Each structure stands twice: as C-alpha cells, then as structure tokens.
C-alpha cells in the first residue's frame, strides 16, 4: 500500500476516451461490470485498481481531503452536500470519529446502491477505509436493510477477506436495519447504532457533532464513498474530466417508467435530462411528465424537463434537485393524480409518527389526494389540499414532512389540468389503470419493527 496520491497521471482503467471517461456512457464505478459482465471479487478488484492508498501521515491525510475538495465531489445519497467539507468538519470534531456507510436505499424507485454493492463492493469498502483515515475514525459501520440478507452475508465475507489481507486499518461492521422509508435518514442510523429505534432524531446536535457513541460521525452514501476511492487513486483532475466544472464527475441513476431499457446506469453530471433518458433507450411511448428524485422528489412536465441539465444548480430554479438519481418517466396515458395518491398513502404510513405533521398532517394530505384521484367531485377539495400541503414543510421533527410537501405540491402544479377534470367530472378512466410507480404495500409498521 502507498501513502501517495496521483493527479493527472493516466488511470489504470482503459475505455473509449470520450470526455475523459472510461467506458459505455462514461462508466467509472460500473466499468468493471461492463468489462467482465460480473461482480468483482477482491483479486479482480486489486488486479484492476491495485491496493488502495493508505494515508498514514498527517500530510497524506491532508492531501486526500484536499483532493476530495478539489474534485468537487458531492453526496450521492440525496442532499448533494460537499463531501470534502464533511470530512474536514468531522475530522475537526472533539473525540475519535466514527464512519457510517449508508447503503439503506429506502427509496422504492432506486436500485443504484444495491447494484453498486453487488458489483463493486470493494470500491465501497476502499472508500469507507479512506474516509476513516481522513477523519481519524477507529471504526466504520456499513448499514443495509434487512431485506437484503444475501448481500449482507456477501459483504461480511468481503470484509473478512480484506482483514486477512491486511487492507484496512479500521474494522468495518456490517449491520442489517429495519427497512422503512425514514430508516435511511442519517439520524435514524445513529439512533439504531446507539441501541434505539431506526427512526429519526430531533436535531441539534447533528451526527457530525455527536453521533454514534456521541462521537463525531461521518455518514456518507455508499456511492459517495466509492467515488472517494477512485479520487484517492487518480486525483481530482481525473474526476473532473467528466461532468461540468460546477457539477463534476459521474453519478449512478435509476431509470424506470416508460423507457425502452430501464435500469441502473452511470452518467456524467450536468447532461440534459433528455440525454440521461436516452441512455435507457429513450421513451417507449409518449411521455407526460418526469418524476425526478423519487418519492421525496419533484414532478416536472416533460417538455420542460428534457432540456434541463441534471445538476443541482440548474434544477434548483425549478424547485427540484438531483436527489438519489431517480428518474421515473410517466407516460402521457397515465393519471398522475392516481400515481401521486398511491405514493402519498405509502409515505403517510411510513412516517415515524413522532410529531404532529407526521401523525396528523400526512394522513390528511394522503386522504385528500385519494379523494382527488378516485373520489366524488368536490370543488372545495383543491383549496383544502393546497392549504394542508403548505403547512407541512419545516414543521416536522425530521425532513419527512418536507419531502412529502414537495412531492405533493409539484404534483398539484404539474397535474393541475387533471385535477380540474377530476373535480368537475370525477375520476378519469386512467385513474384505475395499473400503476407505473413502484409503490410498496401501504402498511403501517408495528412498533417492534423499528428495532
């Protein structure tokens, strides 16, 4: 292992050379899968990338953090917070730090983290080890949902093999947590690792101040850590050779809905949404709208969305964001109100039920939306629904009501024509069609299921 890091030197991987990228559609994290068609075990991983850097000196640690800062890497789990800034903040905290790799992926429309952990587990584990070195942590936790027991078993085996080879300076512990929508929130992970329920905590303090064991805690999405592992090897200039100056690198996206070849892909940041959808073969039928960001995301009219670059700065002007890289292409034939109502019913049932907005506000909004989608005409419903949606944001103990508010508000705006039809004439025929969005069964978790 080496203490050094590179920048500007050719990467070990080879590819098509377009825009400084390494494989089909600019794949970096998924390059090995495109090259072999299979998951990489440790020998293949080391043969492809070599051993990970092992920054042991203060200077080497500082070079690692500066490389991440200069690369412009942002979180790939939803918030898009600058990763280098998080590393600096946790490293500067009081006490020995802890690292948590978030692989929960509670978003039903996302499959990217699950696929990454299946195909390139050692990139994620490299990133966790490097993050631990960067913040001075003595342990790393990898959190997965209990629904993926086979994957958890495979990752424990991978961790044990790395330990036998002496690759990691800190132990990595693989955990299986309850699989509820809010259980992937960072304070939910902290609460569970501290022996509590997998439900969000009120803040402050934030995890970077007092997290696991009341120690400074770095929590990063598993994709973010995999990017960090590549930046540590190839440097910030290489990372920035894909994407835009203000939206650097590549990102994993889950493309679904009315597309010819839905699935998980890797694309450069900053590409227009229409080009991102083309990676999945483009639309399989006329589209009406795009859901961007998943169940906490935003609805966008398709004629507006296709030209917008997939970058935080550009999407913010539309009241949207990259989120966890979820794109659902809704066909024009579908009823957006019915799709939204199903999602809102699920989100209301999945709340932590720890505050008024979750216990009362979310079920009320979900019930109103169900009436709008499938109930009898009532001209007063729209006004009541808009008022209730407006009361959700910023009032919860966690961000669950905020996400529901954004999803519901954008649905009311984008499907305004459908709402007028439903309110005056009753539900459209499409409201009873097979849903497009992958909404799980709407079941309220038993109190014991949070542990």
Which domain CATH number covers 349?
Answer: 1.20.1440.230
Asked if residue 134 is part of any domain, the answer here is yes
Q: What is the mean pLDDT of residues 268-289?
A: 97
pLDDT tens digits for range 295-352: 999 999 999 999 999 999 999 988 899 999 999 999 999 999 999 999 999 999 999 8
Number of domains, the chain = 3
Asked if residue 5 is part of any domain, the answer here is no
Q: Specify whether 63 is located in the same domain as 207.
A: yes
Q: Specify whether 269 is located in the same domain as 361.
A: no
Q: Specify whether 252 is located in the same domain as 342.
A: no
Asked if residue 33 is part of any domain, the answer here is yes
* pTM of the entire predicted model: 0.93
Which domain CATH number covers 305?
Answer: 3.10.20.600
Q: What is the mean pLDDT of residues 367-384?
A: 92
pLDDT at 13 over 80: no
Q: Specify whether 341 is located in the same domain as 302.
A: no
At 151, the pLDDT band (50, 70, 90 cuts) reads very high
pLDDT at 375 over 70: yes
Confidence at residue 25, expressed as pLDDT on a 0 to 100 scale: 59
Asked if residue 10 is part of any domain, the answer here is no
> Where among 296, 331, 366 does a domain terminate?
331
Distance CA 123, CA 121 (A): 6
pLDDT tens digits for range 389-403: 999 988 887 889 999
Q: Is the peptide bond before 204 cis (omega within 30 degrees of 0)?
A: yes
Q: Is the peptide bond before 205 cis (omega within 30 degrees of 0)?
A: yes
pLDDT at 354 over 70: yes
Q: Are 85 and 225 in contact (CB under 8 A)?
A: no
Q: Specify whether 403 is located in the same domain as 420.
A: yes
**Of residues 110 and 443, which shows the higher confidence score?**
110
Q: Specify whether 153 is located in the same domain as 235.
A: yes
Distance CA 276, CA 219 (A): 28
Q: Specify whether 217 is located in the same domain as 349.
A: no
Q: Specify whether 93 is located in the same domain as 133.
A: yes
DSSP 234-262: HHHHHHHTSEETTEESEEEEEEEESBSS-
pLDDT tens digits for range 46-79: 999 999 898 989 999 999 999 999 999 999 998 8
Q: Are 343 and 366 in contact (CB under 8 A)?
A: no
Domain that holds residue 279: 247-331
Confidence at residue 191, expressed as pLDDT on a 0 to 100 scale: 97
Asked if residue 7 is part of any domain, the answer here is no
Confidence at residue 241, expressed as pLDDT on a 0 to 100 scale: 95
Asked if residue 235 is part of any domain, the answer here is yes
Distance CA 437, CA 342 (A): 9
Q: Specify whether 64 is located in the same domain as 194.
A: yes
Asked if residue 206 is part of any domain, the answer here is yes
**Of residues 446 and 370, which shows the higher confidence score?**
370
At 24, the pLDDT band (50, 70, 90 cuts) reads low
At 9, the pLDDT band (50, 70, 90 cuts) reads very low
> Where among 276, 301, 331 does a domain terminate?
331
pLDDT tens digits for range 34-49: 889 999 999 999 999 9
Phi, psi for 254 (deg, rounded to 5): -110, 115
| Average pLDDT of the residues of the chain | 91
Asked if residue 300 is part of any domain, the answer here is yes
Q: Specify whether 255 is located in the same domain as 374.
A: no
pLDDT at 237 over 90: yes
Q: Specify whether 189 is located in the same domain as 287.
A: no
pLDDT at 23 over 60: no
| Nearest 10 degrees: Cα torsion 428, 434, 436, 438 | 130
Distance CA 294, CA 181 (A): 12
> Where among 183, 211, 241 does a domain terminate?
241
Q: Specify whether 209 is located in the same domain as 91.
A: yes
pLDDT at 17 over 80: no
| Nearest 10 degrees: Cα torsion 272, 108, 352, 204 | -40
Confidence at residue 80, expressed as pLDDT on a 0 to 100 scale: 84
Distance CA 99, CA 149 (A): 22
């Amino acid at each position: 292992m080496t203490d050094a890091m590179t920048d500007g030197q050719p990467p070990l991987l080879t590819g098509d050379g377009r825009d400084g990228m390494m494989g089909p559609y600019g794949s970096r994290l998924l390059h090995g899968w495109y090259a072999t068609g299979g998951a990489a075990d440790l020998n293949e991983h080391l043969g492809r990338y070599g051993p990970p850097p092992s920054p042991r000196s203060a200077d080497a640690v500082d070079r690692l953090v500066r490389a991440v800062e200069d690369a412009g890497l942002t979180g790939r789990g939803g918030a898009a917070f600058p990763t280098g800034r998080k590393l600096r903040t946790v490293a500067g905290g009081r006490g020995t730090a802890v690292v948590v790799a978030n692989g929960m992926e509670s978003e039903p429309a996302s499959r990217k983290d699950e696929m990454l952990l299946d195909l390139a587990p050692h990139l994620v584990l490299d990133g966790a080890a490097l993050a631990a070195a960067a913040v001075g942590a003595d342990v790393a936790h990898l959190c997965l949902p209990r629904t993926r027991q086979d994957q958890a078993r495979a990752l424990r085996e991978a961790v044990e093999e790395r330990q036998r080879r002496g690759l990691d300076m800190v132990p990595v512990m693989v955990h299986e947590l309850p699989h509820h929508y809010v259980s992937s929130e960072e304070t939910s992970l902290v609460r569970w690792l501290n022996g509590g329920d997998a439900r969000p905590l009120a803040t402050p303090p934030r995890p970077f101040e007092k997290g696991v064991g009341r120690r400074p805690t770095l929590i990063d999405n598993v994709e973010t850590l995999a990017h960090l592992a590549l930046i540590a090897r190839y440097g910030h200039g290489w990372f920035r050779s894909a994407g835009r100056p203000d939206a650097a690198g590549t990102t994993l996206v889950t493309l679904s809905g009315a597309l010819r070849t839905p699935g998980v892909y890797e694309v450069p940041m900053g590409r227009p949404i229409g080009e991102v959808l083309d990676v999945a073969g483009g639309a399989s039928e006329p589209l009406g709208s795009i859901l961007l960001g998943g169940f906490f995301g935003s609805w966008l009219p398709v004629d507006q969305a296709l030209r917008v670059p997939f970058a935080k700065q550009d999407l913010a002007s539309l009241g949207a964001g990259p989120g966890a890289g979820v794109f659902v292409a809704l066909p024009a034939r579908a009823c957006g109100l019915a799709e939204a109502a199903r999602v809102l019913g699920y989100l209301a049932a999945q709340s932590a039920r720890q505050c008024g907005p979750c216990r009362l506000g979310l079920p009320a909004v979900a019930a109103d939306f169900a009436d709008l989608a499938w109930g009898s005409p009532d001209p007063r419903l729209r006004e009541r629904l808009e008022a209730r949606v407006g009361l959700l944001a910023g009032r919860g103990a966690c961000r669950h009501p905020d996400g529901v508010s954004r999803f519901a508000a954008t649905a009311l705006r984008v499907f305004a024509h459908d709402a007028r039809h439903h309110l005056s004439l009753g539900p459209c025929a499409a409201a009873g069609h097979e849903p497009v969005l992958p909404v799980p069964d709407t079941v309220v978790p038993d109190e014991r299921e949070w542990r």
